[in-house]
Amino acid sequence: MPICLYCNEEKMEEELSQEHVIPRAIGGNLIPTNPFSLNRVCKRCNSICGTFIDGPFIKNWLTQNNRTEAILKYADITKNPTLPLRYMGSCEDIKFEDNICELWLGPTGDTIYHFHKPYPEEAHVAHMVGVPTFARKDEIDSGFAFLFIRSNNPAWHPTIAYSFISQFKDSILYLGNGPTPKGGRFSDIPLELQELHSMLRSMSGQVHSASIKMNIDYGDRFIAKVALGIGGLFLNKEFLSSKSAQLLRTFMWTRDSKQREKLPLRGTGFWGALSQDLKNIMNWPGGHVIALIQSGKTLNLFTSFYEAQTASIIISSEPQHWDGIVNEGLVFVISPGLQKYVGPKNIANYIAHKYEGDMKDKDFSMLEEEMNNIKEWPPFDI
């Protein structure tokens, strides 16, 4: 019987599912083939991972905003795309009854106020932007949201409206500046909200004080999962039942960060002390870098997401796991905006491509060219 990589238990064929080691939400939906797709993960692990491990990473405010930035770069506004929104935090100075007010920015810097009753929290799960992945439907108050469109260019208006509607699918939606668009998702502003509306109208476009909640260990379990997944994909079979894999498993399934700290797993986490030189090497403009690098008797995973979030972790301390597979190191570069990747490439070629003018790698160059070929935006103001 097949064994699930994440829980290490025997599973029936029909209990298995396809797992994206790099989640689709951050560009892991790679075409035409996906080197980070695992088919030896049970449905149960897949679902728990999505809720408690991938969710806190994808929905922390840094990833949310990096992702928004990256997607905006590739957006073709003439096709009226739906774009993610920038999250600014909760406004302490704006209150309505027992609602909290969260501030978001639309694609052209449009001000959005979302009022709702606080979302549930869960012990040991990092704070998430928007609806937490673990919340049940009946625990969520979708509330209502006001949109104040900033751009006066009609070319932007469908994109702004679609993006707003998509983020607040279940909320009551109001257009703050302008008459209610007829026959769509927007509602007329009721009497009891008119005072609030006038106050927001006088505030929108001004500086707000918003606060952001963030746990420094938001990505620890995620990075351990990625390391285990990558080990399962690229290393020898012995890795699967090894001590190294078991340590990653134990770490990724330990909910309490204090308990995780006691485990002998080495790595930096997203807030750790990765040197600036290494960060520079590992960054790719607008993309992700996934690297497996040998250092003495350990094989380390280095990741950099959206040029901003770097972390490292040990995949294996048993050299026979990567013998003949990884010599010095392997690198993948992912462009989440293009759904493309390059790799695995030798680390030396990658570094030469970045730092030696005359040693360009053909595949990296092609990816760079495509990533720089960004469509020009229509102006916000006309």
**The pair of three-digit structure tokens given for residue 52, joined into one six-digit string:** 């408690």
Distance CA 173, CA 56 (A): 27
The 8-class DSSP code of residue 293 comes to: E
The yes or no reply on residue 253 touching Zn ion (CB under 5 A) is no
Total number of residues binding Zn ion (CB under 5 A)? Answer: 5
| Cβ 7 to Zn ion shortest distance, Å | 3
- ∠ at Cα 363 (362, 366), nearest 5°? 85
Q: How many CA atoms lie within 13 A of 346 on its CB side?
A: 8
| Cβ 10 to Zn ion shortest distance, Å | 10
- What residues have CB less than 8 Å from 372, skipping those under 6 apart? none
Q: Provide the mask over 326-355, with x wherever binding to Zn ion is found by CB under 5 A and - wherever it is not.
A: ------------------------------
| Cβ 134 to Zn ion shortest distance, Å | 18
Looking at the Cβ atoms of 49 and 94, the one nearer to Zn ion is 49
Positions in 22-81 near Zn ion (CB under 5 A) = 42, 45
Q: How many CA atoms lie within 13 A of 46 on its CB side?
A: 17
Looking at the Cβ atoms of 198 and 246, the one nearer to Zn ion is 246
Sign of CA pseudo-dihedral 43, 130, 268, 234: positive
Binding Zn ion by CB under 5 A: which of 6, 52, 239, 270?
A: 6
Binding Zn ion by CB under 5 A: which of 7, 105, 233, 374?
A: 7
The yes or no reply on residue 4 touching Zn ion (CB under 5 A) is yes
Alpha carbon distances (Å) from 43 to 247, 328, 343: 22, 35, 28
Looking at the Cβ atoms of 42 and 88, the one nearer to Zn ion is 42
The stretch among 5-13, 54-62, 237-245, 373-381 that binds Zn ion (CB under 5 A) is 5-13
CB atoms within 10 A of CB 343: 18
Looking at the Cβ atoms of 42 and 330, the one nearer to Zn ion is 42
What does DSSP say about strands 144-148 and 172-175: parallel, antiparallel, or unpaired?
parallel
| Cβ 8 to Zn ion shortest distance, Å | 8
In the complex, the residues that contact Zn ion under the rule CB under 5 A are: 4, 6-7, 42, 45
